[in-house]
Amino acid sequence: MKKFLVMLNVFGLSRITIPNIFSSSTISLNSDNVILTIDHKSAVVDLTYSQAEKLALCTKDSNGIYQKGRTFNQSIDAQGLVDGVLISALLSPPDLNGRVRLVISTTRAMKKPSKVTFKFGTQSLTIKELHLDWKFEQN
């Protein structure tokens, strides 16, 4: 570890903030934090910088610039089955204020509001009552 820290200093990287990927954090949101699309096929959740940092999705470097966290990529980062419905979340890069947006979608309508948890390493985001009921879907 000591050699690693010396190497960071040699390359001028000692001031980079790296999120603690070994800690465990849980963020819990209610349905008030979820913005449904008109057809209820998807929803948007905007996470503040503080929330995104706890989930290791965003960090701030020594110059105050927001960076992607270590668990972040621009493909589907989280997915799982809830009552037989595949639910997935797509993450956007942090904006100028460090906020991260999740776009949540399902493969078909959810029959009832359900508790949904997305895992990002050891961190997790729980939405207490997600209900993507595909309101205007034609049968």
The helix (H) or strand (E) run that includes residue 28 is: strand 26-29
Stretch among 2-16, 73-87, 102-116 having the lowest mean pLDDT: 2-16
Question: Quick check: is 137 in a domain?
Answer: no
Question: Quick check: is 32 in a domain?
Answer: yes
Question: Quick check: is 83 in a domain?
Answer: yes
- Note down the domain range covering 68: 26-130
The CA distance from 29 to 33, in Å, is: 6
Question: Quick check: is 1 in a domain?
Answer: no
pTM, 2 dp: 0.72
75: left (phi over 0), alpha (psi -120 to 50) or beta: beta
Question: Quick check: is 41 in a domain?
Answer: yes
Question: Quick check: is 108 in a domain?
Answer: yes
Stretch among 10-14, 27-31, 32-36, 92-96 having the lowest mean pLDDT: 10-14
pLDDT digits (tens, 9 = 90+) for 30-57: 989 999 999 999 999 999 999 999 988 8
Q: Are 96 and 6 in contact (CB under 8 A)?
A: no
The CA distance from 13 to 10, in Å, is: 8
Question: Quick check: is 119 in a domain?
Answer: yes
21 pLDDT above the threshold of 70: no
Tally of domains in the chain: 1
The CA distance from 64 to 67, in Å, is: 9
Question: Quick check: is 16 in a domain?
Answer: no
